[in-house]
Amino acid sequence: MANAPASPLGVYLEHLGKGELAYQFSPGANAAVFYPRVICPFTGRDDLQWRVSKGLGTVYATTVVTPVKGDPYNVVLIDVDEGFRMMSRVEDIAPLDVRIGMRVKFRVHAAEGDEPPYPVFTPSDAAP
């Protein structure tokens, strides 16, 4: 199956491995599509194109999870400037200091063991 196309998730993870936040774009809907998929959720067509985000966004919502064991951490929804929303977390800041409307920038949390790399965000000085 060497000629089989890579899965959308595989392409997404390849981009993360290169330090890039990739997303798909639907020309028929003229809209960003995220999480990676085979078929556009707006048009039902399979003509999705891959694009790479500039990695800037705004915190749409945030909450703090306080596990029984371990340190508290935040879970956030980020409105990425290219027009899609994704769940992630904001690092390099205390979980309770993350605020709705805060500008953030993307970075990759490196793969560990069997876990693939994943996107996280850090506070940004960029203006909205």
Where residue 61 sits, what CATH number does that domain have?
A: 2.40.50.840
Which domain does 80 fall in, by range? 8-123
In the prediction, which pLDDT does 127 show?
46
| Position 3 in a domain | no
Paired tokens of 113: 């063991």
The number of distinct structural domains making up the chain is 1
| Position 24 in a domain | yes
Please answer whether residues 65 and 81 qualify as being in contact, where contact means their C-beta atoms are separated by less than 8 angstroms. no
Q: DSSP per residue over 103-114, as a string?
A: EEEEEEEPPBTT
**Gap between the Cα atoms of 85 and 79, Å rounded:** 4
| Position 46 in a domain | yes
In the prediction, which pLDDT does 114 show?
86
pTM: 0.87
In the prediction, which pLDDT does 81 show?
97
Who has greater pLDDT, 6 or 17?
17
| Position 53 in a domain | yes
* pLDDT tens digit sequence for 40-90: 999 999 999 999 999 999 999 999 999 999 999 999 999 999 999 999 999
| Position 21 in a domain | yes
* pLDDT tens digit sequence for 91-128: 999 999 999 999 999 999 887 888 889 999 999 975 44
| Position 128 in a domain | no
